[in-house]
Amino acid sequence: MRAGDIWQAIKNSIKALRNGEFLLRVRADKLYLHIMYLFLLMWLSIMLSLQVDKTLTKAGENKATIEQMRIHHAEKEAALVKVRSASATQLRLSRMGSEASMPTEPATILKNH
């Protein structure tokens, strides 16, 4: 193969590209379905990738929300446990001027026979 032939091939290719005939020259029309299929796959790939990003972003947000709920639950639980202790209840009652206090006798259970 001579250099002149190569140069001629390059020139023809550029000319074909300019005229929009490159794919026809290489008989790509035979591969039209494959090319369309390739583009479909690429589009699907990009779209799925974006959807995955979106889903993972949402998952991250949900995770943060769950974590916030956990913290909220822990704080509430601690606060409720604190006010339910016998000492705290007695203190609250005495501050309210109540005469109620801890039981001094055990409970009496009523039973049917």
Partner 1 sequence: MKRKDSEIQDTIENRDRIHVVMFFLGLLFLALAVVILARVVIIQTTYSVDNSVIGLFRPRIQKHTEVPVRGRILACDGRPMALSAPLYDIYMDCTVLKQEFVDRNDPDGERLWRKKADTLAYYLSNQFRDRTAQQYRDLIINGRERGSRNVRIQRNIDLATLNIVETFPLFKEGPYRGGIIVRPHEERIYPYDSLARRVIGYVKDSIRIGLENNFDYVLHGREGYEWRRVTDDKQWIRDLDSNRVRAIDGNDIRTTINVDFQDIADRALRTRIAEDDDIRAGIVIIMEASTGAIRAMVNLSRGNTPQTTLWERENIALREVGEQGSVMKTVSLLSLVEDGYVTNLEQTIPTNNGFVQGYRQDVHILDYQNETGRRDISVMHGFEISSNYVFTYLAENYYGSNPSEFFDHIYSYRLGEAFDFDISGLGTPVVNRPGTPSWSRTSLGTTAYGYGISVTPLHVATFYNAIANKGRMMKPYLVEDIEKDGRVITTFEPMVLNNICSRATADTVTRALRQVVVNGTATRLRGAKLNVAGKTGTAQVVLSSQERNGSTDPYHDINGRKKNQGTFVGFFPSENPKYTILVTVYSYLSGRSFYGGTIPALVVRDVVDQIYAIDGSWNNTLRPANANVPVLDSRVATSDNGQIPDVRGLGLREAIYSMESSGYRCTYEGSGHVSSQTPAAGSTLAAGETVRLVLR
In the window 24-83, what residues touch partner 1 (CB under 8 A)? Answer: 52-53, 56-57, 59-60, 68, 70-72, 74-75, 77-79, 81-82
Instruction: Report the alpha-carbon distance of residue 37 to residue 54 in Å, rounded.
Output: 25
Q: Report which of 33, 13, 34 is spatially closest to residue 24, judged by C-alpha positions.
A: 13
Q: Indicate whether 97 belongs to the interface with partner 1 (CB under 8 A).
A: no
Instruction: Report the alpha-carbon distance of residue 109 to residue 52 in Å, rounded.
Output: 62
Instruction: Report the alpha-carbon distance of residue 18 to residue 12 in Å, rounded.
Output: 10
| C-beta of 33 vs 80, nearer to partner 1 | 80
Q: Indicate whether 99 belongs to the interface with partner 1 (CB under 8 A).
A: no
Contacting positions for partner 1 (CB under 8 A): 1-3, 6, 52-53, 56-57, 59-60, 68, 70-72, 74-75, 77-79, 81-82, 85-87, 102-113
